[in-house]
Amino acid sequence: MTRARFATVLLVAALSLTGCGGAAIPGPEAATPTAQPPRVTVASDEATGLVTPWGLARLPDGKALVSERDTGRIVEVAADGSLAEMTRIVETVPGGEGGLLGIALDPSGAWLYAYVTTADDNRVIRISLADPDGPREEILTGIPKAQTHNGGRLAFGPDGMLYVATGDTRVNDLAQDPDSLAGKILRIEPEGGVPDDNPFPGSPVWSLGHRNVQGLAFDSKGRLWATEFGEKDADELNLIVAGGNYGWPLHEGVAGAEGFIDPQAQWSPTSLASPSGLAIVDDVAYVASLRGEVLWQVPLVGNRAGTPLALDLGELGRLRTVEALPDGSLWLMTSNSDGRGDPRPGDDRILVLTLSA
């Protein structure tokens, strides 16, 4: 039995078994998919030889940019797969899970946004693509930092706003503190201001009660979904609503507790996933998992998620980031050089995945 098929069997069983904490963890009621999800195959390597890659952004000309967590480099990937340093974020202070993390290209194509761990904080900066070595603009500063649980994913929404995923920095109560930027999903204007229609006036907080979000993506209806690392009971796929409280640290996984929003899908135990990157194509979610070392496929039907399926793409190791391309394919980036993986020849790499009926 392959690792992916074994993980699928474990997932189905684990949704009705007892978690590590000793309490039964019921699984979300899965939606019935309206169509068979597409078949996913590995087509080719797009690039190899990356060092602790984390964020990935595709440029309009077909090139791509990759952030390297521990080197602080922004690397340009040419159409032929060759790599060249575009710039280096010198204020990056790597350590543990911190460093140069998520990147996102703004809708105008003029700016590259980056989530960076510095000596003092996590922050969002932006870089002019016309002058990548020029001065950086600080967009949002003061996000708490730590050795672990820094969050780090960035995504522009269809509303033109920037969404920022943060972690609780292992100070659990910060996730429930509305005055802290830790353990949240934040929503800000491209220049760093707070939108007038945010749920908490004057605050960038969009949702709270998160442990460590590292995946953000929007579906065809413009709704935001997020992946979240659990502690011991359940990793989560959540449908994010403005002002929603997702329970951490009071609840993990499905709780059915008043005032808190349950996940749409969960993985229990957490060794099945440790979900990082997230992409959505034709209302099917693709979740890159680190400890699970598989790409999960989750149909999204209405307001609910279907049963996650572990895709058998071969032995790729830890998977950090998955990005949807305009042609409907996916790019998948490994994370075997991050200190917790087992690097293989060519790692770390970007793979091209094709979707077919």
Evaluate if residue 231 carries a pLDDT over 60.
yes
Evaluate if residue 16 carries a pLDDT over 60.
no
Evaluate if residue 10 carries a pLDDT over 70.
no
89-111 pLDDT tens trace: 999 999 999 999 999 999 999 99
Domains in the chain: how many in total?
A: 1
277-287 pLDDT tens trace: 999 999 999 99
Give the mean pLDDT of 46-70. 97
Range of the domain at 110: 3-356
pTM, full prediction: 0.93
Residue 252 CB: number of other CB atoms within 10 A? 26
- Flag the least confident range among 3-17, 141-155, 192-206, 243-257: 3-17
User: Distance between CA atoms of 207 and 81, rounded to whole angstroms?
Assistant: 38
Q: Of the candidates 238, 285, 287, which has an alpha carbon nearest to the alpha carbon of residue 265?
A: 238
Evaluate if residue 297 carries a pLDDT over 70.
yes
Predicted confidence at residue 33, as pLDDT, reads 86
State the Cα angle at 178 between 167 and 187, rounded to 5°.
65
Give the mean pLDDT of 69-74. 98
Evaluate if residue 179 carries a pLDDT over 70.
yes
Give the mean pLDDT of 271-297. 97
User: Distance between CA atoms of 176 and 259, rounded to whole angstroms?
Assistant: 12
CATH number for the domain that contains residue 347: 2.120.10.30
User: Distance between CA atoms of 333 and 8, rounded to whole angstroms?
Assistant: 21
H-assigned helices in the chain: 3-14
Average pLDDT over the chain, rounded to an integer: 92
Strands 64-68 and 73-77: antiparallel
Q: Using an 8 Å Cβ cutoff, are 267 and 308 in contact?
A: yes
Predicted confidence at residue 20, as pLDDT, reads 34
Predicted confidence at residue 327, as pLDDT, reads 93
Residue 130 burial (10 A CB sphere; 0-12, 13-18, 19+): exposed
Evaluate if residue 176 carries a pLDDT over 90.
yes
Tokens 């039995």 appear where? 1
* pLDDT band (50, 70, 90) for residue 12: very low
Predicted confidence at residue 6, as pLDDT, reads 32
Evaluate if residue 192 carries a pLDDT over 90.
yes
User: Distance between CA atoms of 199 and 12, rounded to whole angstroms?
Assistant: 36
User: Distance between CA atoms of 262 and 260, rounded to whole angstroms?
Assistant: 7
User: Distance between CA atoms of 277 and 196, rounded to whole angstroms?
Assistant: 29
Task: At 146, list the tokens.
Answer: 């730590």
Q: Using an 8 Å Cβ cutoff, are 126 and 134 in contact?
A: no
State the Cα angle at 339 between 230 and 3, rounded to 5°.
60
Could you tell me the CA-to-CA distances from 213 to 139, 182, 294, 307, 355 in Å, in that order?
Answer: 20, 10, 18, 20, 26
User: Distance between CA atoms of 157 and 190, rounded to whole angstroms?
Assistant: 11
338-352 pLDDT tens trace: 999 999 999 999 999
* pLDDT band (50, 70, 90) for residue 26: low
